[in-house]
A and B are shown apart, each in its own frame.
Chain A
Amino acid sequence: MGDFQPRSQPALRRRRQLIQRLFLIGSVSLLLLVLIFPSWRATILPVVSLGLLSSTEDLQLQTVRYYDLSAVQGTADGWEKEERVLMCTPLRDASSHLPMFFSHLRNLTYPHHLIDLAFLVSDSKDNTLEMLSSMLGELQADSDPHMPFGEISVIHKDFGQKVTQDVESRHGFAAQAGRRKLMAQARNWLLSATLRPTHSWVYWRDADVETAPFTIIEDLMRHDKDVIVPNVWRPLPDWLGGEQPYDLNSWQESETALALAETLDEDAVIVEGYAEYATWRPHLAYLRDPYGDPDMEMELDGVGGVSILAKAKVFRAGVHFPAFSFEKHAETEAFGKMAKRMGFSVVGLPHYTIWHLYEPSVDDLRHMEEMEQERKAREKEEKEQAERSERVNTLFQDAKTESEIDNAFVRDDMETKGKEQKASEDSKKPEAESVEEMKADKSSKAPEQEEQKAPEPLKNKNLKDAEEVSAVKPAKE
């Protein structure tokens, strides 16, 4: 036994030493490798530490979200059921409209925390983006806990539109098809980037709406339709008729239009309100009765995009704003058509009206400039006349005594006449008051009207100068 042990020990020790050395080299090289390739730590450390360390690596992130879409169908009283609304507004060179738009936002009565705001800022050359950011920042930081809105997304995307945004080029017939397709593309980008599985409703609202009820979301929602639009008019200066239908894209399909569509090629786009396409469709805009029932509904096929309330399930089903010719239409009109095609209800409210901003066309501006010049000329003339008469007065001041005698006679005469007049005026008064009331009513509907009112209505107003009006004509006749 004494012989046996010493003999075996060197072998054992040698082997042990070998193992130790290997282990040492292994661990040192592993350490070096970890130092050299930091990215290996992620894989090596959990192995070496037997998973003990991984428990500390909780990222504090929620990565899994679960949504039940049957809970977001959209109902008539969404504000009571805490239904979320996505409000979409495409913007381009719109900085002048933003203060007005934000005052509308602040006044909305639908619970603000249930409204998610989505903006698309595209191809803007003015400071739309900076203004929007600062105004949104203010809105969310408001001390009133009921003021801040829900999720706010500002999407930047330029589509390289060459078409400028002034009224003239926006409404020219030739530019329409291309413009509508680009507009459709912009709307789709905005919606697809911001629609969430939590939304029950989507409200499209343009920034250039001047007057709309604060309760508009609830008012439209109450009808419980898949797609619903109000009537959109705009105020005009008195010399253009006071007011005018604005949105002609909300209509019912007609046989004539369907027959017309048959004759056009695959990529043609029918645009409403132009002589080139006489469709004879019943338009929502022309059916307005200022004293009509605001709840009255009208079935539509095409809709305008100024203010659309739609159930989110319409968009989830795939209805969008075709940026190609869909059944010979594009953008919002084709949106209405596609919604119909998929069995959704599309209605308009002929007597529920919102007012679009009046932006004078180039001709209108020229016209107004002419009127302004006329007014100035007249004022100048009046001033000159006043000066002249003053000069005359000073010149003839000497004749004071003579005129005093004359005046005394005149005064006596006026006093007797005045008494008579007062008696007759008393009986006329109520009538005059009611006329004044009506005037006030009108101007409250169309505040801009007052501002732009010409001092003297022009008798030879040239209707064809205002291209909006001429555009309306074929459908009217």
Chain B
Amino acid sequence: MAVARPMRRTSPITFFLAAFLAFGFLFFLLSPSSSATTAGDTSQQRREDAADHPLSPPTKPFLKSQPVRNDGLKAPPPVVHYDLNKLTTTSDSADKGERVLILTPLARFYPEFWDNLVHLDYPHELISLGFIIPNTKEGSAALSALESAISKTQNGPIPSRFASISILRQDFEPPLQSQDEKERHKLENQKARRESMSRARNSLLFTTLGPATSWVLWLDADIIETPATLIQDLTGHNYPVIVPNCYQRYYNNDHKQMEVRPYDFNSWIDSSNAQSLAESMGPDEILLEGYAEMPTYRTLMAYLADIESPNPRRVIELDGVGGTALMVKADVHRDGAMFPAFPFYHLVETEGFAKMAKRLGYQVFGLPDYFVYHYNE
């Protein structure tokens, strides 16, 4: 008896159980309000943002249960109004609740890409994703890898779930089956490859843009490292088109250490050499960057980076942009700026896009000291 009393009083298990019960009690008392105000907070918003009917913009999730008419038939889709006058693009995009659509042409799936995407700290309920995958064997493999990554995220904790995800299967054959780096970069293959790429980008863009998107972030599937604040940082400048500098990490055998080198050379300031070169070309020829046969002497943003003391907010004006990571105001695309799949002023794809945006009266900018990193093959 004398032994049992102190035991009972001091048993940590009892205490733990009591605390747990009290906690559980309080939790269940509070939980009805919690779903409205807390966990909560985004689930409610997510449900309100959802479309009523499956026939709705892909940037919106839709309710699984569908309304039924009095006569037992499925109710026809509702009349939905979208006021695009109220759509804003501002430098404090996250606070204003501006929706971002991240578009990715995907041929290979890298888990690092997905991890990086999930770690972006822009509110995920404002992010929609769009993927376009070629109809090849490699594409099928990428698709199944992507789908398993998606199901993990979309069934995980609510705050890290994305608002919606669209996966498109491409309707035309890519001109080159090989994703091999060397083959891919051959000059004669470049035009066909980039024109096909343009079509893929346009297909993805114009079917998923929808009426609610404020910003479009083009992010290639092989960008595996970006700052977590990528979206805030790029929208913060509030420019119609802005592109960070795309670099690559590699192991330098000479220095025996990891180093960085420039990767994307499509962001440039035009030169008179390039212009006169273009003038001498036939209507179906295109100018490409990084080929000895075609000395353009353009100023490449890749080489303007200040590695020693970078100033990530430094902005320069550009004439051509690369698409590895590219932030565009949705209005620019809505006005018609797309990725020309034909020589447009002797430019195609993202470089042609920059030209078209300029023709529509927009300016194009780059951040030479703000880095994103490309996968090293």
Known contacts A39-B41, A153-B211; is A192 also within 8 Å of B333 by CB?
A: yes
Q: Which of A31, A63, A341 contacts B23 (CB 8 A)?
A: A31
In the complex, per-residue mask of B19-41: 1 if CB is within 8 Å of any chain A CB, else 0? 10001001100100010011111
**Which B170-219 residues sit within 8 Å CB-CB of chain A?**
170-171, 198-199, 202-203, 205-211
Distance between B107 CB and nearest chain A CB, rounded to angstroms: 16
Chain B CB count within 10 A is highest, among A38, A61, A116, for: A61
Interface status of A283 (Cβ within 8 A of chain B): no
Q: Is the CB of B64 within 8 A of A65?
A: no
In the complex, per-residue mask of B322-363: 1 if CB is within 8 Å of any chain A CB, else 0? 000000000001111011111000000000000010011100
Q: Which residues of B contact A263 (CB under 8 A)?
A: none
Interface status of A442 (Cβ within 8 A of chain B): no
Interface status of B53 (Cβ within 8 A of chain A): yes
**Which B70-88 residues sit within 8 Å CB-CB of chain A?**
71, 73, 76-85
Q: Which of A17, A61, A148, A321 contacts B47 (CB 8 A)?
A: A61
Q: Which of B15, B157, B163, B339 contacts A20 (CB 8 A)?
A: B15
Distance between B198 CB and nearest chain A CB, rounded to angstroms: 7
Interface status of B365 (Cβ within 8 A of chain A): no
Distance between A195 CB and nearest chain B CB, rounded to angstroms: 5
Query: How far is it, in angstroms, between the C-alpha of A200 and the C-alpha of B24 when the chains are bound?
Result: 54
Query: How far is it, in angstroms, between the C-alpha of A322 and the C-alpha of B26 when the chains are bound?
Result: 62
Interface status of B61 (Cβ within 8 A of chain A): yes
Known contacts A23-B19, A61-B61, A317-B341; is A151 also within 8 Å of B55 by CB?
A: yes
Q: Is the CB of A133 within 8 A of B359?
A: no
Q: Which of A16, A31, A152, A197 contacts B208 (CB 8 A)?
A: A197
Known contacts A195-B206, A316-B206; is A67 also within 8 Å of B39 by CB?
A: no
Q: Is the CB of B55 within 8 A of A116?
A: yes
Interface size grouping (class) on chain B: 35 or more
Q: Is the CB of B81 within 8 A of A156?
A: yes
Q: Is the CB of B207 within 8 A of A342?
A: no
Query: How far is it, in angstroms, between the C-alpha of A272 and the C-alpha of B57 when the chains are bound?
Result: 37
Interface status of B282 (Cβ within 8 A of chain A): no
Known contacts A62-B62, A192-B209, A318-B339; is A23 also within 8 Å of B16 by CB?
A: yes
Interface status of B54 (Cβ within 8 A of chain A): yes
Known contacts A27-B19, A38-B41; is A156 also within 8 Å of B83 by CB?
A: yes
Q: Is the CB of B34 within 8 A of A149?
A: no
Interface status of A75 (Cβ within 8 A of chain B): no
Interface status of A176 (Cβ within 8 A of chain B): no
Q: Which residues of B contact A64 (CB under 8 A)?
A: 150-151, 154, 164-167
B residues adjacent to A (C-beta < 8 A): 6, 10, 12, 15-16, 19, 23, 26-27, 30, 34, 37-43, 46-47, 50, 53-58, 61-65, 71, 73, 76-85, 135, 150-151, 154, 157-159, 161-171, 198-199, 202-203, 205-211, 333-336, 338-342, 356, 359-361
A residues adjacent to B (C-beta < 8 A): 13, 16-17, 19-20, 23-24, 27, 31, 35, 38-39, 41-43, 45-46, 48, 54, 57, 59-70, 72-73, 113, 116, 133, 136-137, 140, 145, 148-158, 184-185, 188-189, 191-199, 313, 315-318, 320-325, 341-342
A-B contact pairs, 28 of them (CB 8 A): A17-B10, A23-B16, A38-B38, A41-B34, A42-B38, A60-B63, A62-B54, A62-B62, A63-B154, A64-B165, A66-B166, A67-B167, A69-B171, A73-B171, A133-B81, A145-B73, A149-B77, A151-B53, A153-B82, A155-B84, A188-B335, A191-B206, A192-B205, A192-B206, A196-B58, A197-B208, A318-B198, A323-B336
In addition to A41-B40, A152-B78, 13 A-B residue pairs with Cβ atoms within 8 Å of each other are: A39-B38, A59-B43, A61-B63, A65-B58, A67-B207, A153-B82, A155-B84, A185-B335, A193-B84, A315-B206, A316-B202, A318-B202, A325-B359
